[in-house]
Structure 1
Amino acid sequence: MKIKFLGTGTSQGVPVIGCNCNVCTSLDFRNKRLRTSLHLEINGLSIVIDTGPDFRTQMLREAVTHLDAVLFTHEHKDHTAGLDDIRPFNFKQQMDIPLYGTVQVLEQIKSEFSYIFAKTKYPGVPRVLLNEISNTPFEIQGNKINPIQVMHHKLPVFGYRFGNFTYITDANYISPEEIEKIKGSKVLVINALQIKPHISHFTLSEALELISIIAPEKAYLTHISHTMGTHQEVTEQLPRNVEIAYDGLKIQL
């Protein structure tokens, strides 16, 4: 399994427009964060988790030339807004791209991108296949995927477990039952927005507490706000088995 962090930033990205803080003005490339997204290669299968507003830039930067499926964690715009840019994959592969999400996510996509589903379609619109999923395991081309339901304030969000790898973003609560689904993961990716309390995201201390409960061999923090601090500052606070992820980071399992 090859994993690429396409984006590790919060909904505004980093730097934030008009902000002159030390993070937003940093010259360290690790402090420049596109909206959160992930690319996985599993047994030759190419999957993207979430097509945020930076999807096109992310595909070009990482030279992704083939896409088999898109998984959505939830329906917020910073995770769906770039869907139109799957069109080059339609053209190149001559196929509809399968999308996987809850009924709420798929209904939002049908509303936000209504032109994709119009009876009379404009030439060249994205071509997709909608696949509704629930909180039970499913497969894509023989690869088992286990959804992990977490809460983003009052909104249910899906994380996903692929074998020994679990990816969770936009969470501030995970039930004991869902935590049990994560345990045993060798690598865990979890959101940690900032230092101060937040209504819908784990803080750094909350994420570290959860990591200590799950006890993966390695954990990476994502969905980072500019208020968290610089990559170097945060790194100095972390346990040995925890790293703050950055755009372009690649890991292999």
Structure 2
Amino acid sequence: MEVTLLGTGDTTGTPTAGCGCDTCEAARQRGVERSRFSVHVHNERTGESLLVDCSPDFRHQFLGEDVPLPDEAVVSHIHFDHLDGLGNAYRLLDSFPVYAADETDPETGESVAETVRSKFDYLDRVTVHPQTPFEAFESCGFEVTLVPVDHPPLVCYGLTVRDPETGATLALSGDSSYAIPDDSRAALADADLLLVDGIVPARLCEYHPLGGTHEADDGTPRTFGTKHMTFEGARALADDLNAADYRIVHVSHFPTPEEAFAEDVAVDGERYTL
């Protein structure tokens, strides 16, 4: 499988519109970007492409990267930066199957699949296919499994994408705190490549109203507030899960340039063959 990181940023992206901070300026000078989150997974055997999350930067991403339009998609949760690009199916795709979890979210009273269906009911090309977490389903010739993670107050899912012929496996933590349940950790373990949520370095937890949580033995917070991992938490999770390789994604513009462009912190356009 060929994995292309279409979007590696948080909800505002980097550079952030209207921002002249050192990190946004450094991104401009380097000619790099972190648009809103999305991952393209191409199956060379079947010629099909799976899109993980539908970024509102969909058009920009597919114009900028030399990858085919997706045949199918999976949606991890209903925050706009992972979902609202689905509207690009209009006049662009003849059909677009979308997979999402079937569990009812106590916060919304409906599942992710139901929310996708109701929000985009005007798109006749989009068909929603509810899936049960931890149960593998086929998409684009891959075995895909939704894995519950921890992103309060909404339900959210990481996932694995496995090539059944080669065994190559991509894992995504999804938007999550460090408090991913043990059964989910087991499902995400031992991937060839792990894309792991990390929004800021732990030192910035002092600026969050809720501080940092899930501290390591030395007191370093592995979660920024309640929803996203710190860089330190992301690195710890990659180690916990025994990933052969990992990249930190869903990155904000608040780290310093040195932190934001560290070796293991992804930028848009990176490609991996698994």
Q: How has the CA–CA distance of structure 1 residues 245 and 16 changed in structure 2, closer, same or farther, with 3 Å as cutoff?
A: same
Correspondence 1:58 to 2:57:
no
Q: Are 1:244 and 2:242 matched, yes or no?
A: no
Match of 1:123 in 2: none
How far the C-alpha of 1:140 sits from its partner, in A, is: 1.9
Distance 2:64 2:151 in 1: 29
Q: 1:203 aligned to 230, 246, 250, which one?
A: 230
Aligned-residue identity in percent: 27
Calculate the TM-score normalised by the size of structure 2.
0.79
How far apart, CA to CA, are the structure 2 residues paired with 1:175 and 1:29? 38
> 1:134 is matched with which residue?
132
Corresponding residue number in structure 1 for 2:151: 152
Q: 2:186 aligns with which of 168, 180, 184?
A: 180
SS of corresponding position for 1:79: helix
Deviations, residues 25-75 of structure 1 (Å, cap 9, x unaligned): 121233x21001000012322011111210111111113334210110111
Unaligned runs of 5+ residues in structure 2 are 103-110, 163-168, 206-223
TM-score, normalization: structure 1?
Answer: 0.85
Q: Is the CA contact 1:99–1:129 (under 8 Å) kept in the aligned structure 2?
A: yes
1:48 corresponds in structure 2 to 51
Give RMSD over aligned pairs.
1.8
Alignment partners' CA distance in 2, 1:18 and 1:235? 20
Counterpart for residue 105 of structure 1: 112
Cα shift readout 1:133-169 (whole Å, capped 9, x = no counterpart):
1111111254211222111123221111122211222
What's the CA shift string for 1:80-133, capped at 9, x where partnerless? 11112123442xxxx3210111242232223333423xxxxxxxxx51111001
CA contact (8 A) 1:153 1:201 kept: no
Q: Counterparts of 1:53 and 1:141 in 2: how far apart (Å)?
A: 22
Unaligned runs of 5+ in 1: 117-125
